Structure 1
C-alpha cells in the first residue's frame, strides 16, 4: 500500500502544473507518436494472437494476458496506413480507455518524456491526416503526433450514445431548454458524443476545443460582468487537452473569485486511483469516466435539481438504480 500511495503522490505532483508524461512509440517509418503514460498499463513483446472472425480489420486478434482476453488493435491500420508486418517482432502497449482494456500494436517503443501542456498544440490543418490526431508537439526538433484514440475506438467498437428515455421526463424536458451547458474537449468524437447526449435531453451546448479556449471565454464573461456560474450551471471538461489540461483549468477556476463557484465535472477516458486523487486535489465537483450517456445525463440532471428545478419521482428512482 505504501508503494501505491507513493506512486499516487508522485503523479499528483503534475496536477495544477499543466504537465504530462508521454510514452513515445513508432509505427512504420520514422514518425514518432505519443500516448499519455496515465493510460498505459504495461508494454510487452507482442504475444500470440488469436484471430476473431467477423471482427474489424483493425483488430489483429486477441491475446490472453494475465488471466484476461484483450483485443489488440493495429494502430497503423487504424490511422489509414498499411498493416504492421511480422507482428511477432513488434510490441503491444496495453492501455485503459473509457473503462475498457485494449492493446495497441506498434513497431517500437522509444522512451517516456515529461512535457508541458503549453507545448502540446492542436494538429495543423491541411496536412491531410489531421482527422485522426488530437494534438502534436516537438521533441528533439522532431514532430510527435498524438493520436485521437477515442475516435479510433469509436470506429472499431462503437459505444452506445443513446440516453434512456425514462430519464427525460416531461419536467426535465421542460426545464432543460432554459439551461446552457459548457464543454471543453479536444477530441472531435468526444465533443460530438457529449453534445448529442445533452441535446437529446434538451440542453443547449457551448463547446470549446481545449482548456485554454474555455478559460479565455470564462475570463471574458467575467470581465463583462457576467457570472459564468449563472450562465453555465455545469462545465464538463476533458482532462487531456492541448495548451491547458482539465486539471489546470479547474485549478485556475477555483483560484479566481469571479469563477470559483462553477460546478465542474471532469469527464475523461483516464480512470483509476491516480485521477480520483487528482480530482480531489484540484477541487472538481465530480469525476466521470467516458463514455456513459446515462451517467452523464444523470450528473447534469442532478445538478439541475440542486439548482431548484423539481425532480420528478421516476427520475429520482432511476438515479438510485
Structure 2
C-alpha cells in the first residue's frame, strides 16, 4: 500500500503544473510517436496472437495476458500505413482507454519523457497524418506525433452513443431548450460524441478545442461583464489537451474569484487509478470516464435540474 501511495503522490505532483509524461515509440519508419504514460498499463514483447474471426484487419489478433483476453491493434495499419512486419520481435503497449483494455502493436519503444503541455501543439494543417493526429511536439529536435487514439478506437470498434429512451422525457427536453453546455476536448471524435449525446437531450453545445481556448473564452466573458457560471451551468473538459490540460484549466478556474463557481466535470479516457486523487487536488466537481452516453446524459440533466433552470440566466458582474 505504501508503494501505491508513493506512486500516486509522484504522479499527482504533475497535476496543476500543466505537465505530462509521454512514452515514445516507433511504427514502421523513422517517425516518433507518443502516448500519455497514464494510459499505459504495461509494455511487453508481442505475445502469441490468436486470430479473431470477422475482426477488423487492424486487429492482428487477441492475446491472453494475465488471465484476460486483449485485442491487439496494429497502430501502423490503423493510421493508414503498412502493417508491422516480424511481429514476434515487436512490442505491444497495453493501454486502458474508455474503460476498455487493448494492446497496440508497435515496432519499437524508445523512452519516457517529461513534457510541458504548453509545448504540445495542435497538429499543423495539411500534414499527411493530420486525420489521425491529436497533437504534436518536439523532443531533441525531432517531431513527435501524438495519435488520436479515440478516433482509431471509434473506427475499429464504434461505441454506441445513443441515449436510453427513459432518460429524455418531455419535461427534460423542455428544460434543456436554449441552455448552453460548454465542452473542451482536443479530439474531434470525442467532441462529436459528446455533442451528439447532449444535443439529443436538447442542449446547445459550445465546443472548444483545448483548455487554453476554453479559458480564454471564460476570461473574455468576464471582461464583457458576463458571469460565466450563469451562461454555462456546466463545463465538461477532457484532461489531455495541448497548450493547457484539463487539470490546469480546472486549477486556473478555481484560482480566479470570477470563475471559481464554475461547475467543472472532467470527462476523459484516462481511467486509471490516479484520477480520483488528481480530481480532488484540482477541485473538479465530478469525474466521468469516456464514453458512457447514459451516464453523461444523466450527469448533465441532474446538474441542470438541481439548479431549476429552464433557460440561460446571464448575469453581469457588479
TM bucket by the smaller chain? over 0.9
TM-score normalised by length of structure 2: 0.97
**CA shift at 1:309, angstroms?**
4.7
Matching residue of 2:314? none
SS at 2:214's partner residue?
helix
Matching residue of 1:293? 293
Q: Distance in 1 between matches of 2:54 and 2:15?
A: 43
Matching residue of 1:33? 33
SS at 2:176's partner residue?
helix
Contact kept, 8 Å, 2:22 with 2:113, in 1: the verdict is yes
Q: Superposed, which structure 2 residues align to 1:1-321 within 5 Å?
A: 1-309=1-309
Q: Distance in 1 between matches of 2:215 and 2:69?
A: 41
**CA shift at 1:273, angstroms?**
2.4
Contact kept, 8 Å, 2:96 with 2:272, in 1: the verdict is no
Contact kept, 8 Å, 2:34 with 2:144, in 1: the verdict is yes
SS at 1:266's partner residue?
strand
Matching residue of 2:316? none
Q: How many residues align?
A: 310
Cα deviation digits, residues 50-104 of structure 1 (max 9, x gap): 0011000000000000000000000000000010011001000000000000000
Q: Distance in 1 between matches of 2:221 and 2:249?
A: 16
Q: Distance in 1 between matches of 2:25 and 2:221?
A: 41
Cα deviation digits, residues 154-199 of structure 1 (max 9, x gap): 0000001001111110110001013100000000000000000000
Q: Distance in 1 between matches of 2:94 and 2:168?
A: 38
Unaligned runs of 5+ in 1: 311-321
Q: Distance in 2 between matches of 1:241 and 1:211?
A: 6
Q: Distance in 2 between matches of 1:196 and 1:308?
A: 23
Cα deviation digits, residues 7-46 of structure 1 (max 9, x gap): 0000000000000000000001110000000000000000
SS at 2:225's partner residue?
coil
Runs of at least 4 residues off by over 6 Å? none
SS at 1:229's partner residue?
helix
**CA shift at 1:271, angstroms?**
1.2
SS at 2:28's partner residue?
coil
Q: Distance in 2 between matches of 1:178 and 1:208?
A: 18
SS at 2:166's partner residue?
helix
SS at 1:191's partner residue?
helix
Q: Distance in 2 between matches of 1:21 and 1:236?
A: 23
TM-score normalised by length of structure 1: 0.96
